[in-house]
Amino acid sequence: MSSDRIRVVVTGLGATTPLGGDVASSWSALLAGRSGVATLTEDWIDSVPVRFAARAAVEPGEVLPRPEVRRLDRAEQFALIAAREAWADAGSPKVASDRLGVVVGSGIGGITTILEAYDNFREKGWKRLSPYIVPMLMPNGSAGWIGIELGATAGVHATVSACATGAESIGYAIQMIRSGRADVVVAGGTEAAIHPLNVASFAAMRAMSTRNDEPERASRPWDRTRDGFVLGEGAGIIVLESEEHARARGARVYGVAAGVGYSADAHHIAQPDPTGAGISSATRHVLEDSGLTGADIKHVNAHATSTPAGDVVEAIAIQEIIGDHPLVTATKSMTGHLLGGAGGIESIFTIKALYDRLVPATVNLEDLDDGVEVDIVRGEPRALPGGQIAAINNSFGFGGHNVAVAFASI
């Protein structure tokens, strides 16, 4: 790592997840091994083959004022709640408007808004449509709203890379600060896609678990009997800051956002490359970018979605490029899969693991699949060693996107 490069640190965390309405409650639920997955009671549930999901633990309408609820798609509601928590957690930094940026994306955007507005349009005509439908459905809407609220004029961006979105946003933010475009960037991902069309469409891909009689046990990364991912919703957003800026204002620093590695499979639109070449490549790149070695990496928050195709390939790539020493966990076993929000909340969990030196266990892993030889945390959380350590959050997405973000202790 070149010594003259701007170092980026993490100074604020915010989340609303299936485990809790903020970071503290989500993190303590993870450590307790609690699942956020439950049977759905919506009236459409009999029309789809999957009858459970990981709903946000706190309804955004209970937190936000009514005018905001009217004007924001559910994904934007989650994003604003998480961004406000992260900003307050960072101590509401005083920063010049043109030195403040936002990078917040969503995998799907305001799909519930689109579908409900279309029904409304067909029933009542265009004059009954809300003038806020366009900003509600556009995938960059969350970034735009957060940018307005914070007065961020250095640049407001929204990466879209399916389930790698949240991690890619954080990677983009790291590079935005390193390039000198901004001193502070609010970054992460959000998703609100528990809608019958999405459930039906993912089910049509045979990508989702159908363990309807035991929803809490449905998300089971690396287990031999895993049968697909579990849909979740929520947002995870962090405040990234140049170390110089953070130190100058005496900010509490959670850790270093050490680097990002990207690659693309160029293999199949929705299936992972069975050789794991793309994952290995992203892992090599994140080590190069962060100046870390495999030996420095003591923990990996794996992408591991509980699909038959992806989990084992990722474990093999971790073992090959990093080694078999890191403590590996899959928090999706408890949160479900937040799609574009996953990289946001899982980066937060990775940072919290480094900060608290504690890795949450993967739940529901009863019968380890063949070929998985990495050290997966099971049963109880396990402690990370003292001293200078680092960790990686992996996020991969349909389209063949592979993103690995590295964080290091201070």
Rounded CA gap, 306 and 318, in Å?
A: 16
The catalytically annotated residue of 163, 286, 287, 361 is 163
DSSP one-letter string for 194-230: -SHHHHHHHHHTT-B---TT-GGGS--TTBTT---B-
CB of 136 to other proteins, least distance (A): 11
| Residue 57-86 contact track with other proteins, rule CB under 8 A, x = bound | --------xxx--x----------------
CB of 148 to other proteins, least distance (A): 12
CB of 133 to other proteins, least distance (A): 10
Query: Side-chain half-sphere of 27: how many Cα atoms within 13 Å?
Result: 20
* CB neighbour list of residue 2: distance below 8 Å, 6 or more residues apart: none
| Residue 127-166 contact track with other proteins, rule CB under 8 A, x = bound | xx-xxx----------------------------------
Among 295, 309, 326, which residue's Cα sits nearest to residue 393?
326
CB of 62 to other proteins, least distance (A): 16
Q: Name which of 144 and 291 has its Cβ closer to other proteins.
A: 144
Q: Name which of 88 and 134 has its Cβ closer to other proteins.
A: 134
Q: Name which of 131 and 250 has its Cβ closer to other proteins.
A: 131
Rounded CA gap, 330 and 336, in Å?
A: 10
For the chain, the residue count is 410
Q: Which stretch binds other proteins (CB under 8 A): 126-134, 199-207, 217-225, 399-407?
A: 126-134
For residue 231, which phi and psi values (nearest 5 degrees)? -70, 130
Q: Residue 309: exposed, middle, or buried by beta-carbon count in 10 A (0-12, 13-18, 19+)?
A: middle
Q: Name which of 94 and 127 has its Cβ closer to other proteins.
A: 127
Q: Is 163 a catalytic residue?
A: yes
Is 387 a binder of other proteins (CB under 8 A)?
no
For residue 320, which phi and psi values (nearest 5 degrees)? -70, -45
Count residues near other proteins (CB under 8 A): 9
**CA angle (202, 232, 57) in 5-degree steps:** 155
Active site residues: 163
Residues forming contacts to other proteins in the complex (CB under 8 A) are 65-67, 70, 127-128, 130-132
